[in-house]
Structure 1
Amino acid sequence: GRDQKTTIGQDQTLDVTRDRFTNVGRHYRLEVTDRRHEYSHTNHDLEVGGHYTQKVQGKVLVEAGESALIHTRNLTLTGSESVVIQGPGGKITIGSGGVTIDSPSIKLNGPVAVSTGAVSQIKTLESAAREGTPLVDICSACGDGA
Structure 2
Amino acid sequence: MAQVLKVNLPFDLRTSHDNDLFYKTAHEKQIFILPYCNSCDQYFWPGAFICQHCGSTDVEWKEASGHGKIYSHVEGRFPFHKAIKEHLPIAICSVTLDEGPRVFGRLVNYGDIEKVSCDAPVHLVWLQDDEKGCTIMGFELD
TM range (shorter): under 0.3
* TM-score, with structure 1 as normaliser: 0.16
* TM-score, with structure 2 as normaliser: 0.17
The structure having more radius of gyration, on CA atoms, is: 1
Structure with more contact order per residue of length (Cα contacts < 8 Å, sep ≥ 6):
2
Structure with more of its chain in strand, by fraction: 2
